[in-house]
Structure 1
Amino acid sequence: MPPRLPLPRPRIPKQEQPAHKPVPVPIERSVDFCRVFVDGKRLPGNFRVRQAAEMVEDLDNAFVWLSLKAPSEDQMERLAEVFELDDLIVDDIVDAHQRPKIDRYDEQLFMVVRSVHYRDDEEVADAREIISTGEVQVVTGPKFAITIRHNAPLPDLTGKLEEEEDLAVLGTTAVAWVIADHLTDNYLRVADYLSHDVDELENEVFTPRRQINIDKIYNYKREVLEMRHAIDPLAPALRTSLTNNKDIVRKALRSYFRDVQDNATIASDHLSGFDERLTSLLDASVAKVTMQQNVDMRTISAVVGMAAAPTLIAGIYGMNFEYMPELGSKWGYPATLLVMLLVMGAMLWWFRRNHWL
């Protein structure tokens, strides 16, 4: 009988394991601080987000100031549930690539202000890193003010809100002013640093016989343009907001915001002036380099001309003819050298007289 083959074992399907859902990151991971203000005074301590939101609901003239650092989409969705944020605000916060603006959603204001950070060109290897920009967003409602920073160092400004007399009593829009005022003041400081750098570039360009680094001028012009893109839209946005949101921004706060608007305008004017000066420096540098090249070419031409005369004489006497002037003379060789020297000396005198050399 033929051998009996073993029967194949039936394959038992493996039980599919349920996919693991990502563990949600707590909101507190992105929180810089969470403070509660009542009647213009800050309550001591740092609160949890839900605790602070529930606390101010039962108090009059109270609000939460929550500061966040680059929250994730999941964290913002949970915050939207706590503070009833508009969906469009959540999308803009997560996207984090907004130009300076102020938008209104019912009783909520959403403000975007760009931050500017300056580093001396001696401290960085790449001149394109002299100016770095970030983004600070502020969402205000009747009972809360949320500040979100993306790639923007921002100190704890709650002390400034307390120092300004009767400022916190004016509500959550006072927080928006504190943030905007801090950032626009920094614009003016950076403009002062840039003014010093542009003055140094002017000295380099207009100093005689000094080497010009045109790449450095191009890099500064690029940095100034980047800063202009970051701050130029802020002043018009503030002007429009003060006109259209008088029911939310109290009259006492409008003068504060006008001061911020003035600072942003002054900084924009300074940058516009720097841009024009750098353009003039580029033109002057190109003209100076072109003139230097012309001088170099004229000097080279003069040297080549001086060398051409003795080369011509030596070439003539290098011909293999039997009858040539002074070919058989005893003093023919030194006489020829003397003629070469005299011709070169005459050409040197003529070139110097015409400032070619």
Structure 2
Amino acid sequence: MVGRVVSRSKKPIGAPPGVLVYPGERKAEPVVMRIFKYDSSTVQEDEWTADQLPEKYARGQTATWIDVTGLHDVETLKRIGDAFSIHPLVLEDILTPGQRAKSEEYEGLLVIVLKDVDFDRTSMVVGINQVTIILGDHFIISFRDRPTDLFEPVRERLRNGRGQIRKRGVDYLAYALVDCIVDKYFRQLEAIGEETDELEEAVTGSPDAVTMQRLHALRREMLVFRKAVWPVREAVGALHRSDNPLITRKTAVYFRDVYDHSVQILDIIETLREVLSGMMDLYLSSVSNRMNETMKVLTIIATIFIPLSFIAGVYGMNFQYMPELRMRWAYPAVLGLMIFVGAGMLWYFRRKKWL
């Protein structure tokens, strides 16, 4: 759990700022760059390599979206940075998976860092994939380490020309990408909510050790989810209030809508955390109540046997002169007395509703 909250960096201690070190394992797969060049009437989809950027990208012409998947090739990342004049500190942030969600301005570029979140109900694990979006003049670049279908709805809108996405500038495309990430949070929270409902039924029924493990795992993953999503409100709010010329006033209104969604998401997260905390208390109370019921039954049994043991002890003493020992009906009488005492105590306990 601590390893997922505190990110581990492979950057050497004391290294100068801007040093690029990939924190993950080495991969043989090449970095994939999917390109969309579009205007109001046409869209061109292609795949480039970093070496092709200088000859194929013409700054300031057609709106261009470069979707980069794979961050393991540091040299490729450097070439992209050189082609678009991306500050080395921004490139370092792209390679640092523990970055908080934020939006910053760097030398004519707008940098947006968000988290793509996936909840797996089978393993009860929240997966985090950092997404960095760089908005420039007539271009936008998105960086991800793992291939996902996160932006497929946006690609389909570009291909089909649905809505305003091809009629507006790249700032509107940036909004569409951010909105896609934030909307996905709702789907993941729905899955967590369904898991919470199932756990609630199990806790209020007959909870067992497996229920406790699932409940603890879900509470732990909610902390990971909250850490990833909590700064999103601030980052999107900064985009809405930004006076950066890269974001027009018409597009800023849409970022306001994403901001409202981020507030709703945080409210849902806090509600789910409170529900899970209440369920944990309910589970512990249920276990304690079951233990108390067991102890009550054992105490009643022991209490019933106290007078019976006393009677048996009295008539089990090895004295020579005990008149009852020579009586013909003494043994059945003592047994009857013990049965009467035991039955009387059971009746009394039931009357007091202790049984």
Q: What is the TM-score when the length of structure 2 is the normalising length?
A: 0.82
After superposition, the C-alpha distances for 1:37-94 in whole angstroms (9 at most, x for unaligned) are: 3567322433344435433326623324232223333332222222221011111111
Partner of 1:330: 328
Q: Is the 8 A contact 2:37 2:64 kept in 1?
A: yes
SS at match of 1:97: coil
Q: Is the 8 A contact 1:100 1:231 kept in 2?
A: yes
Residues 52 and 152 of structure 1: CA distance in aligned 2, closer, same or farther (over 3 Å): closer
Q: Partners in 2 of 1:251 and 1:60 — Cα distance?
A: 22
Given candidates 126, 130, 136, the residue that maps to 1:141 is 136
Counterpart residue number, 2:145: 150
Of the three residues 183, 207, 211, the one matched with 2:207 is: 211
Question: What residue is the counterpart of 1:20 in the other structure?
Answer: none
CA shift in 2, pair 1:61/1:75, >3 Å: closer
1:37 touches 1:63 (CA, 8 Å); kept in 2? Answer: yes
Give the match for residue 225 of structure 1.
223
- Aligned partner of 1:202 in structure 2 is 200
- Which of residues 177, 188, 192 in structure 2 aligns to 1:179? 177
Give the counterpart letter for 2:207 in structure 1.
Q
Tell me how far apart the structure 2 counterparts of residues 322 and 40 of structure 1 sit (CA, whole Å).
Answer: 118
For 1:242, the equivalent position in structure 2 comes to: 240
Further displaced range: 253-262 or 231-240? 253-262
Secondary structure in structure 1 of the residue aligned to 2:46: coil
Describe the superposition over 1:158-182 as per-residue Cα deviations: whole angstroms up to 9, x where unpaired: 2234534442453333332222111
Report the residue type matching 1:194 in the other structure: I
**Deviation per residue, 1:264-297 (Å, 9 max, x gap):** 2111111111112222222333333333322221
Distance across 2 between alignment mates of 1:105 and 1:59: 18
In the alignment, structure 2 segments of 5+ residues that lack a partner are: 1-25
Alpha-carbon distance in 1 for matches of 2:99, 2:257 = 23
Q: Distance in 1 between matches of 2:102 and 2:163?
A: 28
Q: Secondary structure of the residue that 2:325 maps to in structure 1?
A: coil
Distance apart, 1:104 and its partner CA = 0.9
CA shift digits 1:118-139 (9 cap, x unpaired): 222xx33xx3x2x222211112
TM-score (norm 1): 0.81
What SS does the aligned partner of 1:113 have? strand
Shift of 1:323: 1.6
> Contact (CA 8 Å) 2:103, 2:236: kept in 1 or not?
yes
Return the alpha-carbon distance in structure 2 between the equivalents of residues 58 and 221 of structure 1: 48
Q: Deviations over 1:312-339 (max 9, x none)?
A: 2222223221122412222222222222
Secondary structure, counterpart of 2:104 in structure 1: strand
Structure 2 equivalent of residue 160 of structure 1: 157
- 1:312 equivalent in structure 2: 310
Q: Which amino acid aligns with 2:341?
A: V
Query: CA–CA distance in 2 between the matches of 1:334 and 1:276?
Result: 63
SS in 1 for 2:114: strand
Q: Give the Cα separation in 2 of the matches to 1:108 and 1:193.
A: 36
The AA in structure 1 aligned to 2:256 is R
CA distance in 2, matches of 1:88, 1:258: 28
1:16-95 paired onto structure 2 within 5 Å: 29-38=30-39, 41-57=42-58, 60-95=61-96
Q: CA deviation at 1:226?
A: 1.8
Partner Cα separation in structure 2 for residue 160 and residue 110 of structure 1: 23
Measured against aligned partners, the alpha-carbon deviations of 1:239-282 in whole angstroms (never above 9, x if no partner) come to 12322343111222222222222222111111111112222222
State whether structure 2 residue 104 is matched by structure 1 residue 103. Answer: yes
CA distance 1:257–1:325, shift in 2 (3 Å): farther
Partner AA of 1:211 in structure 2: P
Q: CA deviation at 1:200?
A: 3.0
Larger Rg: 1
- Number of residues of Structure 1 aligned to a counterpart in Structure 2: 325
In 2, the alpha carbon distance for the partners of 1:349 and 1:28 equals 79
Q: Is the 8 A contact 2:68 2:143 kept in 1?
A: yes
Alignment partners' CA distance in 1, 2:27 and 2:301: 78
Deviation at 1:150, TM superposition (A): 3.3
User: Residue in 2 aligned with 1:119?
Assistant: 120
Aligned-partner Cα distance in 1 for 2:235–2:193: 26
Contact 2:35–2:65 under 8 Å retained in 1: yes
Cα RMSD (Å): 2.7
Of all paired residues, the percent bearing the same amino acid is 26
Query: Which of the numbers 152, 168, 171 marks the counterpart of 1:170?
Result: 168
* 1:190-234 Cα shifts (integer Å, max 9, x gaps): 222222332333333445xx3363443332222222212111211
**Contact 1:115-1:136 within 8 A present in 2 as well:** yes
Per-residue CA distance 1:10-30 (angstroms, 9 max, x = gap): xxxxxxxxxxxxxxx999811
Work out whether residues 170 and 250 of structure 1, in 8 Å CA contact, stay in contact via their aligned partners in 2.
no
Maintained 8 Å contact 2:59/2:138: no
Which letter maps to 1:275?
R
Provide the rounded CA distance (Å) in 2 between the counterparts of 1:293 and 1:256.
56
> 2:137 is paired with a residue of what secondary structure?
coil
